[in-house]
Chains A and B, each alone.
Chain A
Amino acid sequence: MRFSRTSKALGVAAIIALAVTGCGGGGGSNTNSSAAADPNKVISAYSNEPQNPLLPANTNEVYGGRVVELLFEGLRAYDSDGKPVNALADSIETTDSQNWTIKVKSGAKFTNGEAITAKTFVDSWNFAALSTNLQNNGFFFESIEGYADVSAVNETTGADGKKTSTPAPTAQTMSGLAAKDDQTITVKLSQPEADWSLRLGYSAFYPLPSEALKDPKKFGENPIGNGPYKFEKEGAWVHDQSISLVKNADYSGPRAAKNGGVTFKFYTDPGPAYTDLQADNLDVTDVVPSNALKTYTTDFPDRNSTRPNANNSTLNIPGYNPNFQGEAGTLRRQALSHAINREEITKVIFNGTRTPATEFTAPVLDGYNDSIPGSDVLKFDVQKAKDLWAQAEKIKPYDGSKPLLIASNTDGGNKEWIDAVANGFKNNLGIQAEIQPFAKFAEVLDLRKSQSLPGLTRAGWQGDYPSLYNFLGPVWATNASSNYEKYSNPEFDKLLKEGLAAKTPEDANKKFNQAQEILFKDLPGLPLWYRATPIVWSNNVVSAETGWNGGIRYFDIEAK
């Protein structure tokens, strides 16, 4: 641990600068871009060791997620714009948004020959939802009737006052889920949800072969799926080194592989992967190291892409902070928002890999609206910020005895933009503001959970499935799982509920955007920007692209 990451980063920057000035003319080797694509060539991609055995319902981090998505196929899949298309589903029908009938395509098989029927899905989903199986993504089935019984837990309070919850299901299967015949799944939700079918492409809903349910841990080491790829061989996951996938020749779905396979090489740091790409020793990465953000378009001319995805960042203002309560508090929240120059920060600090936010979800989603009433508050307007602050002062004076702190972990390169935001507050509102740095994300999270951060905190949300609700419900609804600042507004909750119960997705989106109007009034958080994922690729592949959620669409990559 002799050198910090920044000093390492400085080193890279210095050397890249050397390389650019000294040997700028060396990149003339990609003249063979017209060479025909080779559908059997294996490509290599940046990744790292997955955190869990490769079970779809247990995988909720990127490195395992990208493998699981290639190994399995669900009832639906998302096209590159995030539109769900039917994959294993023949049809998905409902008349009341509460009772759903799903027809499964006949003839689908896992790579071990096991047939995929309606029962396969029912068993897999029941397995994922049952709390004793401890699946990280079990809560994705929360809308289905009977989920409360299979997910029930016992809460006990220890001698030290700490609460522990242990699984105590009162049923083994969800009552709302049934396989009527080999091809028909019926689902009854506990309440109508118009956008429920949108999530069927998410990995938690993938089918599992019967042997996975018998010994999940063993299965997760050598998973057998039904997706566009399969494990190259037993033991293709070499821990701490790589995972090798090859094309599944029997696959016939919307995500057919255009290359012969994908080898995920593990890197503990994105820097060496970037260097490997410069030497054509790696074919594609979706993590450009922060010190290369300014140079990746020139290091990889014609071999980079930066596409927006469903990912936003906010600056949350806890409701327990007395400076931001009541009428004066609302005015101050607005003033803070007007004092942030989102345009400049995204351009200068993020080098265009972020775009200024216009609401609380993300532009790639169906139903996105960039002119929700109240969204004017996101405009940079110094005069207005000053006026609003002055108005608030008249109602209740600001307690400026301590500087306004913005909490963040600094290991991921957040310091620069927080300094910029804090300077905006200082210069435009005349208050003291500064970063409250933490070494690790876990520290901030602990303090957020226990409601003890003195100031603001950064937050962000990456969509699980392409739906406005996924950005609003889990984050801002009362007592929602990721609502750490405990924001609560019954009116907002009611509109969300109405949106879920709407007959059509259009009506639902209308309600969700009305719910956003409430957020703009209360400003529990200030939307900052949306993320775009910069990716670069080598001379060995034709091109690469990211999907709606920022993940690379590996199966679409053509090798040459």
Chain B
Amino acid sequence: MVRFIFRRLLQVIPVFLGTTLLVYYMVFALPGDPIAALFGERQPPQSVIDALRAQYNLDQPFWVQYGLFLKNLFTFNLGVDFTQQPIAAALARAFPVTAMLAIEALIIQAVFGIAFGVFAGLKKGKLFDSTVLVVSLLVIAVPTFVLGFVFQLVFGVQLGWAKPTVGANADWGNLILPAVVLGLVSFAYVLRLTRASVSENMNADYVRTATAKGLSRPRVVIAHILRNSLIPVVTYLGANLGGLMGGAIVTEGIFNVPGVGNKLFQAIQRSEGPTIVAIVSVLVLVFVITNLLVDLLYAWLDPRIRYDQ
């Protein structure tokens, strides 16, 4: 087990180097001088532009730029972004907000998705099941941005139940609306996965045995059917959490959530290499760790799965 975790963590190094190199190169290859672009039609003296280019190492060849970036990264110095603000501080502001949003969305999709999925799976073919299937299909079919705008307009503007945007007041309450929008699509997938898995396991031998032993229905459902049906769902949720932590650019944009997605969007617009790569580096870590946690959960869900061979 420990060896397994250690091996997985070792994988981080090549993944990390590969992704940062790739992203850094892509930003580097973008046409146009990002410094000159900061000023629009009215350019400052060339010496100001040159000084800024030197500050961000943009006057250096690619390998030197990337090398300096890595060196700074390993000395925990992420540098400053194009607004002269420390990138580390910006990330420290953005990640907690996105984490709150992601956790809220994850809870919504996990709790409601699994609950509805189990009921639908147990009552396969009944009215509840068909209704849930149709509704979830609808949710999947409607793009996130449409859902976002509709919810914002209906609940935020017309009914006034929530503030239409989050802005500076990013707390659990204000994040509910964007979290619902964000969680809704995955909720539908979780529901469908759970339903399929549950209805398949319902006829398994061990379920029949459990029922024959005289166990109560709730115990059969929760301890036997559900637990064995969760593996695909947990895989999906884990992969999804990584995605959610990457910041939902569209949802954060619509609700003006000052999270990672918004920051990343702005950095891309400005071709701000250092910020983009810093965010991506953190995301790589988040992905690797969530995937590791998912793998560890497998063993708990299904003791037949072993890690050390």
Chain A positions near chain B (C-beta within 8 angstroms): 1-3, 7-8, 11-12, 14-15, 18-19, 23, 26, 49-53, 60-61, 131, 134-139, 151, 153, 162, 164-167, 217, 238-242, 265-269, 271-273, 275-276, 278-279, 281, 411, 438, 440-446, 449, 459-462, 464, 474, 481-482
Contacts and interface: CB of A to CB of B under 8 A. Distances in A.
Contacts of B150: 15, 18
Contacts, number: 190
Given A440-B32, A446-B36, A241 B167 contact: yes
Interface string B230-243: 00000000000000
Contacts of A265: 167-168
Contacts of A11: 143, 145-146, 148-149
Interface string B142-181: 0111101110110011101001110110000000000000
Contacts of A162: 59
Contacts of B89: 239
Tell me the dominant secondary structure on chain A's binding face: mixed
29 contacts: A3-B145, A7-B145, A8-B254, A14-B146, A23-B158, A131-B45, A136-B44, A136-B48, A165-B45, A166-B47, A166-B51, A239-B85, A240-B263, A242-B167, A242-B168, A266-B168, A266-B258, A268-B253, A268-B266, A272-B253, A272-B255, A276-B163, A440-B271, A442-B32, A442-B33, A443-B31, A464-B42, A481-B42, A481-B43
- For the complex of A and B, 8 pairs with smallest distance between CB atoms: A442-B32, A442-B37, A443-B32, A241-B168, A136-B44, A272-B256, A279-B157, A15-B149
Given A442-B271, A443-B32, A279 B156 contact: yes
Nearest to A443: B32
A269 B42 contact: no
B165 A52 contact: no
Nearest to B264: A1
A239 B47 contact: no
Tell me the dominant secondary structure on chain B's binding face: helix
A134 B49 CA distance: 9
Contacts of A138: 44-45, 48
A91 B10 CA distance: 73
Interface string B284-307: 000000000000000000000000
B84 A52 contact: yes
B249 interface: yes
A443 B30 CA distance: 9
A441 B47 CA distance: 21
B115 interface: no
Given A239-B85, A279-B160, A442-B36, A165 B46 contact: yes
B139 interface: no
A2 B249 CA distance: 8
B50 interface: yes
